[in-house]
Every structure is written in structure tokens, then in C-alpha cells.
Amino acid sequence: MLLFLAAMLFCCCSDESELKAEVKTDVKAEAAANIGKTLVVYYSYTAHCREIVNTLTSRIEADVLEIQPAQKGLRYEANGYALGTELLNAINDNPDDANSYPAIDPVTISLGQYQNIIIVTPLWWSQMAAIMQTYLFQSASQMAGKHVGLIVSSHSSGISGVVADAKRLLPDVTWMGEALWINASNHSRRASLIENWLGTLDFATEQTTMDKMYITIDGQAQSVTLEDNTATRALLERLQQAPVTVTLNSSGDFEIWGALGFSLPTNNEQIYAQPGDVILYNGSNICIFYGTNSWSYTRLGKIDGLSESELRSFLKAGESGISVTLSLRSDQASINTVKSEKLKDNSCFTLQGTLAQAGHKGIYIKNGKKVIL
């Protein structure tokens, strides 16, 4: 009888344990299903970051991208870290110049399909490793609007300098939470550290969409609130690669329009277009309205906050050969529109090309370069 009762008790406990495990698995699966697609990007010199990534990806579902220097076999730590310091100094001397960053192997992966990106990088002399800085510098526009997390590996140095580098290089991302610091003393406990850290992050969900782009004409940038459809999602993915500049012409005293140079999916319906509407016509033409018209269009979005008269002025109604840039950031096109003759007196301009007011702090254009005042 005692053996029978023990066996029954064991079965009950086993069933309860299995039930708890099943419930836990279901909760984890449900949570994972609600998280948008994630990419882990890392550079590893001593293999510590690679070990961190292996631990990280055992706990979340993510694609992995390893960044590699173009020149192989270099010893960045040799001679008192001479080469590593030289690379960092070149970046610090001119952080806005692409030539300041060491070359890396080409990266062909598109970031458009990812909502979340986790960066895993080593620390070099209290700064972010120069190789990873190159990738972030090159990918900043693609990462705009993404949810980003940061893990930093170091021997013992604090990571505030690496966090500052990350925020400088990626000014338009949403940081999911505080950076995680894994050093020599706690590297063996990285599994629990990563587990706890993941629970603090604000991951973007599959439903998270970017709903803004910018239209820039003659240095003036205006935001556009986008529809959520297959056409805008395809356009956003295109703009994550680089801004798109098109030449548009006035037509019918109600719009400027022209060829995009590529095709987008259509969701055509009979639309009575209003001033400010941004419309896709025949899949490969963009129309921006300052008047009204009814036709079978795909709606892309609407320019924010301008009256009809302001729209006519902004869109240069009645003119031909209007250069229009579509971008994910207001400064991507307008930085290049500051006229060189305006810079001769060392004046500073905002990223939108307007003269900066004295005493205001921020990022400005001075003598053709970005400066922080």
C-alpha cells in the first residue's frame, strides 16, 4: 500500500511538474510571438563577444551578423595598443568623415526586415571598438526608428564612453533600455546577466510600424504621416537604404508629380485627393497635392501641418524640374543644401539649413561640416 501511494504521489508530482513546464513554455512562446524580428550585430576580437552572442541567441530567436575588418590579422593591442589607439584617434579627429573609419568587409544584409537590433561590441581604451564604429556609421540611416539594445564587453573599464559613441553614431534610434556591461569578473555569469537584462528591454512588436518620412525641397523639410499598407512598407524599406531624390513637375494646378524610378506595390482605390496628400499613381509615380483631384490611386500619406497656401509655396506650385528628396530623417537631404557662399563668415546653420540663433546649443553645420555647440 505504501509503495502504491508513493507511486501515485510521484505520478501526481510529475504531472504537475510537466504541466508547469508546459505552461512556462507556452508563455515564453507567446512572448516570443509578440516580439518583432530581431538581429544581433557583433564584432569580436578576443572571442569574448562571440561567447556573449552564443549565450544571447540561446535565449532569444534572432538572426546574427558578424562584422569583420577588411584587413585581416592586425594586432590592435600590440605595442601598448598603438594601432587600436591610432584608429580611435582618427575617428575622434573627424567623426563625420567616412574616411576616418577603418574599412570593414561588405555587409549585404538589409535592416528593413528587423524591428529590433542588439549590438554586441568590445571596448577599446574606454571607447567602442573602431571596427564596430564603422558599421554603425555606415548603417545609421538604415537603423533610424529601430529599437536598439547594447551589450559591451570589457576587461574592467567602465562603458560610459562606448554608450556615448553609440548614441553619437545612432541619433535616431529608440534605445530599448540601459546597456549591459559584461566584464572579466562576471563573464562566467553572462547567462544570468543576459537573462535579467532581456527582461528589462522594450522590444518592438511585430505590429510596430514606422509612420513618418520627410519631404525636403530647397532645404526645407516637412514631415509626412504615412498610411500603413504594402506600398508604404516597401517605400520605408527602400528609404532605410538611402534617401530617394526625384524630379517632379507641376500639373493641372493641383499637384506636382513624376517618376520614382522604381515600382511599389499598389492598393488602388478611388480617392478624392486633398491638399497635402502624397499619392502613388500607377505603381511608379509619386503625386504630391496642393489642390484636389479624384482618381484611382494608392494613398501613401499626408504632409503635416501646412495650409493650402503654405503647401503651394513649399511645393513650388507651377514650376517644373522641382528636386524633391524623400528620407527617414529631416537632416538627410537638407544638410547638403546649405550654400557655400553663406559659410564664408563662419555662420552656423541648423540641419534644416536655417541660420542658427546665437547662444543655442545643438548640432549645426559650420563651414560645410557638422559641429556640436
3-state secondary structure 172-206: CCEECCCCEEECCCCHHHHHHHHHHHHCCCCCCEC
Parallel, antiparallel or unpaired: strands 269-273 and 363-366: unpaired
- The reported pLDDT for the residue numbered 333 is 54
- The reported pLDDT for the residue numbered 359 is 53
- Alpha-carbon distance 319 to 286, whole Å? 16
- Alpha-carbon distance 117 to 138, whole Å? 15
- Alpha-carbon distance 345 to 168, whole Å? 27
Amino acid occupying residue 221: A
- Alpha-carbon distance 264 to 267, whole Å? 10
SS3 125: coil
- The reported pLDDT for the residue numbered 331 is 64
pTM of the model: 0.54
Architecture of the domain made up of 212-331: Beta Barrel (2.40)
Other Cβ atoms within 10 Å of 372 Cβ, number: 9
- The reported pLDDT for the residue numbered 142 is 84
- Alpha-carbon distance 294 to 210, whole Å? 27
- Give the domain 34-198 fold: Rossmann fold (3.40.50)
Q: How buried is 277 (Cβ within 10 angstroms: 0-12 exposed, 13-18 middle, 19+ buried)? A: buried
H or E segment and range at residue 371:
strand 369-372
Domain boundaries, the chain: 34-198, 212-331, 338-372
- Alpha-carbon distance 121 to 152, whole Å? 5
Reference 41, options 154, 146, 160; nearest CA is 146
pLDDT averages per 10-residue partition of the chain, 373 residues: 46 41 39 68 96 95 95 90 93 95 91 91 95 95 90 96 97 94 96 95 69 92 90 88 93 95 92 95 96 94 92 94 90 44 46 48 49 51
- The reported pLDDT for the residue numbered 29 is 42
Torsion of CA 65, 66, 71, 73, to 10 degrees: -160
Domains 34-198 and 212-331 share a fold: no
What DSSP designation does 211 have?
-
**Whether 117 contacts 147, CB under 8 Å:** yes
DSSP 264-322: -----EEEEE-TTEEEEETTTEEEEESS-EEEEEEEEEEESS--HHHHHHHTTTT-SSE
Q: What is the distance of C-alpha 238 from the center of its chain?
A: 13
Q: What is the distance of C-alpha 262 from the center of its chain?
A: 23
- The reported pLDDT for the residue numbered 358 is 54
Reference 62, options 39, 41, 42; nearest CA is 39
Other Cβ atoms within 10 Å of 119 Cβ, number: 26
Q: What percent helix, strand, coil does the chain show, rounded to 5?
A: 35, 30, 35
Other Cβ atoms within 10 Å of 141 Cβ, number: 17
- The reported pLDDT for the residue numbered 337 is 35
Other Cβ atoms within 10 Å of 99 Cβ, number: 7
